[in-house]
Amino acid sequence: MTKPNVSGVVSSNVKLKLTVIFAIIVGVYIYTSWATDSTPIDIIRGWGGFQRILTDLFPPNWNYIPQVWEKLLETIQMAIIATTFAAIVSIPIFLLSASNLFPSSWIYQPVRFIMNVLRTIPDILLAIIFVGIFGVGVFPGIIALFIFSLGLLAKLMYETIEAIDMNPLDAIRASGGNTFQVIWFAVMPQVLPQFVSFSLYVFEVNVRASTVLGFVGAGGIGLLLQQQINRFAYPRVMTIIIVIFIAVVVIDFISNKIRERIV
């Protein structure tokens, strides 16, 4: 008696599932393209406008760099302040959010809920709200970045804490150590490298985000970029774009090198 070809049946089932998944993806793409009236052909239709913008942007106005440099420093300072305060304030929050440190759901669940609410609010919406409260300037941008960074850091860190080795914690508890001693001697040594790494990552994100927040009046180089776009000063706009690009690349490189040495 011949044995059934099990591998052939499994292979056919896998192919059928992949075919169905591919058909669904294609169907969703076709529907969304029809619903939004957007297709790859639009890229070809817009090529003339793309060429016109490129012509307007080049050559950059290099004499404008001193003004750009001043606003770039302002943007970096915004990111530094927001990230630093968010990192400090997040420490008690992510500790209270960790279920292996505070098993009671009455403690960690409400803290997590508040952080989830903060994290779901887009940073640009926060900037619009605070610009309406405090007026145009750097301070609304710092507050918006602070709240966004706080929610992000808290989530990254409490998930990190919940994945640590529990043996050191149990040993300190068994020897009569209190919660503070458990956190200081067992938790922080394990998560400190990740905390520094995540803080650097959030700083990178904030540098990019602060550029966008400037478009709604939250200060920094984004505000300068918006002003020059409104004036149709495209050579200056290109200068700003180049400076932003170089700054982001340099910051990412330095941050990655620091993280490689820490982790």
Mean pLDDT per block of 10 residues along the chain (263 residues) reads 54 78 88 78 72 78 85 89 93 88 83 86 86 86 90 89 84 83 85 89 87 80 85 87 88 82 69
| Residues 101 and 2 occupy one common structural domain | no
Question: Per the domain annotation, does 20 fall within a domain?
Answer: yes
Predicted pLDDT at 80 = 92
Q: Residues 130-171: pLDDT tens digits?
A: 888 888 888 888 999 999 899 889 988 988 888 888 888 888
Number of compact structural domains in the chain:
2
| Residues 132 and 211 occupy one common structural domain | yes
Residue type, 164: I
Q: Residues 34-69: pLDDT tens digits?
A: 887 777 777 777 677 777 777 777 888 888 888 888
Domain that holds residue 89: 63-262
Question: Per the domain annotation, does 40 fall within a domain?
Answer: no
Predicted pLDDT at 170 = 83
Predicted pLDDT at 85 = 94
**Burial of 79: CB neighbours in 10 Å, binned 0-12, 13-18, 19+:** buried
The Cα–Cα gap between 18 and 14 comes to 6
Helical (H) or strand (E) element with 89: helix 65-97
CATH number for the domain including 87?
1.10.3720.10
pTM score, whole prediction: 0.78
Question: Per the domain annotation, does 177 fall within a domain?
Answer: yes
Token readout for 64 is 């404008």
